[in-house]
Amino acid sequence: MESRLFSLLPLFLLLANLLFVTETNSTNDPFTWLRNIFDKGISSIENFGSYLLIKIIEFLLFASRIVYITVGILGAILWLSHIQPNRGKRMVIGSLFLALVTELLKAILT
Protein backbone atom coordinates (compact mmCIF):
# COMPACT_ATOMS: atom_id res chain seq x y z
CA MET A 1 0.00 0.00 0.00
CA GLU A 2 2.81 2.36 0.90
CA SER A 3 4.63 1.68 -2.34
CA ARG A 4 1.50 2.57 -4.31
CA LEU A 5 1.26 5.92 -2.59
CA PHE A 6 4.91 6.63 -3.28
CA SER A 7 4.45 5.71 -6.91
CA LEU A 8 1.58 8.19 -7.19
CA LEU A 9 3.54 10.96 -5.46
CA PRO A 10 5.26 12.24 -8.66
CA LEU A 11 1.86 12.42 -10.36
CA PHE A 12 0.42 14.46 -7.50
CA LEU A 13 3.42 16.78 -7.52
CA LEU A 14 3.10 17.30 -11.25
CA LEU A 15 -0.61 18.08 -10.97
CA ALA A 16 0.00 20.47 -8.08
CA ASN A 17 2.69 22.22 -10.11
CA LEU A 18 0.35 22.62 -13.08
CA LEU A 19 -2.58 23.81 -10.99
CA PHE A 20 -0.97 26.12 -8.46
CA VAL A 21 2.09 27.56 -10.15
CA THR A 22 1.32 30.49 -12.41
CA GLU A 23 3.82 31.93 -14.80
CA THR A 24 4.34 35.63 -15.12
CA ASN A 25 4.85 35.39 -18.86
CA SER A 26 1.57 34.34 -20.46
CA THR A 27 2.96 34.09 -23.99
CA ASN A 28 3.93 30.48 -23.29
CA ASP A 29 0.27 29.55 -22.98
CA PRO A 30 -0.74 27.75 -26.17
CA PHE A 31 -4.44 28.42 -25.62
CA THR A 32 -4.49 32.22 -25.42
CA TRP A 33 -6.09 32.38 -28.85
CA LEU A 34 -8.86 30.08 -27.65
CA ARG A 35 -9.43 32.23 -24.57
CA ASN A 36 -9.60 35.35 -26.73
CA ILE A 37 -12.16 33.76 -29.05
CA PHE A 38 -14.20 32.58 -26.07
CA ASP A 39 -14.09 36.03 -24.43
CA LYS A 40 -15.16 37.72 -27.67
CA GLY A 41 -18.02 35.25 -28.04
CA ILE A 42 -19.22 35.78 -24.48
CA SER A 43 -19.04 39.58 -24.80
CA SER A 44 -21.00 39.51 -28.07
CA ILE A 45 -23.67 37.33 -26.43
CA GLU A 46 -23.85 39.79 -23.51
CA ASN A 47 -24.17 42.72 -25.91
CA PHE A 48 -26.92 40.98 -27.86
CA GLY A 49 -28.77 40.10 -24.65
CA SER A 50 -28.67 43.66 -23.36
CA TYR A 51 -29.79 44.99 -26.77
CA LEU A 52 -32.68 42.52 -26.85
CA LEU A 53 -33.72 43.40 -23.30
CA ILE A 54 -33.70 47.13 -24.12
CA LYS A 55 -35.86 46.56 -27.20
CA ILE A 56 -38.33 44.41 -25.24
CA ILE A 57 -38.63 47.09 -22.54
CA GLU A 58 -39.15 49.80 -25.17
CA PHE A 59 -41.87 47.73 -26.82
CA LEU A 60 -43.64 47.07 -23.52
CA LEU A 61 -43.57 50.77 -22.66
CA PHE A 62 -44.96 51.60 -26.11
CA ALA A 63 -47.72 49.00 -25.73
CA SER A 64 -48.64 50.24 -22.25
CA ARG A 65 -48.94 53.78 -23.62
CA ILE A 66 -51.41 52.54 -26.22
CA VAL A 67 -53.35 50.69 -23.53
CA TYR A 68 -53.64 53.60 -21.11
CA ILE A 69 -54.67 56.02 -23.84
CA THR A 70 -57.32 53.61 -25.15
CA VAL A 71 -58.66 52.76 -21.70
CA GLY A 72 -58.72 56.44 -20.76
CA ILE A 73 -60.69 57.42 -23.87
CA LEU A 74 -63.16 54.56 -23.45
CA GLY A 75 -63.56 55.35 -19.76
CA ALA A 76 -64.17 59.01 -20.48
CA ILE A 77 -66.80 58.12 -23.09
CA LEU A 78 -68.56 55.77 -20.66
CA TRP A 79 -68.35 58.28 -17.80
CA LEU A 80 -69.39 61.40 -19.67
CA SER A 81 -72.18 59.77 -21.67
CA HIS A 82 -73.69 58.31 -18.48
CA ILE A 83 -73.86 54.85 -20.05
CA GLN A 84 -71.91 53.33 -17.15
CA PRO A 85 -70.55 56.24 -15.11
CA ASN A 86 -69.02 54.21 -12.29
CA ARG A 87 -67.17 51.84 -14.61
CA GLY A 88 -66.04 54.76 -16.78
CA LYS A 89 -64.74 56.64 -13.76
CA ARG A 90 -62.77 53.58 -12.60
CA MET A 91 -61.36 53.14 -16.10
CA VAL A 92 -60.18 56.76 -16.19
CA ILE A 93 -58.58 56.44 -12.75
CA GLY A 94 -56.94 53.16 -13.79
CA SER A 95 -55.61 54.69 -16.99
CA LEU A 96 -54.17 57.63 -15.04
CA PHE A 97 -52.46 55.21 -12.66
CA LEU A 98 -51.12 53.16 -15.57
CA ALA A 99 -49.90 56.34 -17.26
CA LEU A 100 -48.11 57.41 -14.10
CA VAL A 101 -46.42 54.02 -13.65
CA THR A 102 -45.48 53.79 -17.33
CA GLU A 103 -43.93 57.23 -17.47
CA LEU A 104 -42.05 56.67 -14.20
CA LEU A 105 -40.65 53.41 -15.53
CA LYS A 106 -39.66 55.13 -18.76
CA ALA A 107 -37.85 57.84 -16.84
CA ILE A 108 -36.08 55.27 -14.67
CA LEU A 109 -35.18 52.74 -17.37
CA THR A 110 -34.11 55.07 -20.16
The full set of domain ranges for the chain reads 2-109
- For 84-101, the pLDDT digits (tens) are 999 999 999 999 999 999
pLDDT for 34: 87
DSSP codes, the chain: -HHHHHHHHHHHHHHHHHHH---S-GGG-TTHHHHHHHHHHHHHHHHHHHHHHHHHHHHHHHHHHHHHHHHHHHHHHHHHTTSSHHHHHHHHHHHHHHHHHHHHHHHHH-
Q: Is the pTM of this model over 0.75?
A: no
pLDDT digits (tens, 9 = 90+) for 18-44: 556 555 555 677 788 888 888 998 999
